[in-house]
A and B are shown apart, each in its own frame.
Chain A
Amino acid sequence: EPEVTQTPSHQVTQMGQEVILRCVPISNHLYFYWYRQILGQKVEFLVSFYNNEISEKSEIFDDQFSVERPDGSNFTLKIRSTKLEDSAMYFCASSISTGNTIYFGEGSWLTVV
């Protein structure tokens, strides 16, 4: 069964460093998302992406965050200057349309020290 794949599975970074999290969505999907889950808290929406542009973003997704679809298969989340509070599991997800099932990847654990 097709799946969303994410790399790296775990990354430790120093505060202030840039981080890029990578995702390969399911191949025929058109909508892409990033969510995050801080340890012990709810899964939170960050951003949705369709037709090569951001369609919606949350208050969390400030100027430190950016997303890109550099080619036909990858979807990336960049955090420009990481803070301690960015430590979380980051999930990439994709769907065929907004009305269909959203499929999530296994996540990337980000630890900022």
Chain B
Amino acid sequence: KQEVTQIPAALSVPEGENLVLNCSFTDSAIYNLQWFRQDPGKGLTSLLLIQSSQREQTSGRLNASLDKSSGRSTLYIAASQPGDSATYLCAVRWNTGKLIFGQGTTLQVKP
């Protein structure tokens, strides 16, 4: 069964810290992987998309990596800020058009 898991479920860090969010998936034959941000009660904002042929993608302070063989992706956030506080979702697309989501990691960055 194709599943996506994110650990930890919650993370609290002081402002300025660099941090890594983890995503793991069963079945390494993915098509692509997308990271999203979700603020409470709000929609999903796409952060980064990594195709299966890519190893990483960068956008500003965010860097996402992909290791298909081990079934893992990480989202690295540099110099975290209180405004980064949100839930971060990892979603994987396999051989169909749909995304399968992890349960998310809720990040709190303390001033």
Interface SS, B side: strand
B18-55 at interface with A (beta carbon < 8 Å): 31-32, 34, 36, 41-46, 49, 51
Q: Is the CB of A33 within 8 A of B51?
A: no
Q: Is the CB of B96 within 8 A of A91?
A: no
Q: Is the CB of A42 within 8 A of B102?
A: yes
Contacts known (A43-B89, A43-B91, A106-B43); A58 close to B98, Cβ less than 8 A: yes
Contacts known (A99-B31, A102-B34, A107-B42); A44 close to B97, Cβ less than 8 A: no
Q: Nearest-CB distance from A6 to chain B (Å)?
A: 8
Q: Nearest-CB distance from A97 to chain B (Å)?
A: 9
Q: Which residues of B contact A48 (CB under 8 A)?
A: 97-98
Q: In whole angstroms, what is the CA distance A37 to B101 when docked?
A: 10
Q: Is the CB of A55 within 8 A of B89?
A: no
Q: In whole angstroms, what is the CA distance A42 to B43 when docked?
A: 13
Q: Which residues of B contact A107 (CB under 8 A)?
A: 42-43
Closest to B89 in A: A43
Q: Is the CB of B43 within 8 A of A105?
A: yes
The 9 closest A-B pairs by CB, nearest first: A106-B43, A104-B44, A45-B98, A43-B101, A98-B97, A101-B49, A48-B97, A107-B43, A42-B101
Extra A-B contacts (18), CB below 8 Å, given A42-B103, A89-B41: A33-B97, A33-B98, A35-B99, A42-B102, A43-B101, A45-B98, A48-B98, A55-B97, A56-B96, A91-B43, A98-B31, A98-B93, A98-B97, A99-B32, A99-B51, A102-B99, A104-B44, A106-B42
* Interface residue ranges, A against B (CB under 8 Å): 31, 33, 35, 41-45, 48, 50, 55-56, 58, 89, 91, 93, 98-107, 109
Contact sample, A vs B, 30 pairs, CB 8 Å cutoff: A33-B97, A35-B99, A41-B103, A42-B103, A43-B44, A43-B91, A45-B98, A45-B100, A48-B97, A55-B97, A56-B96, A56-B97, A56-B98, A58-B98, A93-B44, A98-B31, A99-B32, A100-B49, A101-B34, A101-B46, A101-B49, A102-B34, A102-B46, A104-B36, A104-B44, A104-B46, A105-B43, A106-B43, A107-B43, A109-B41
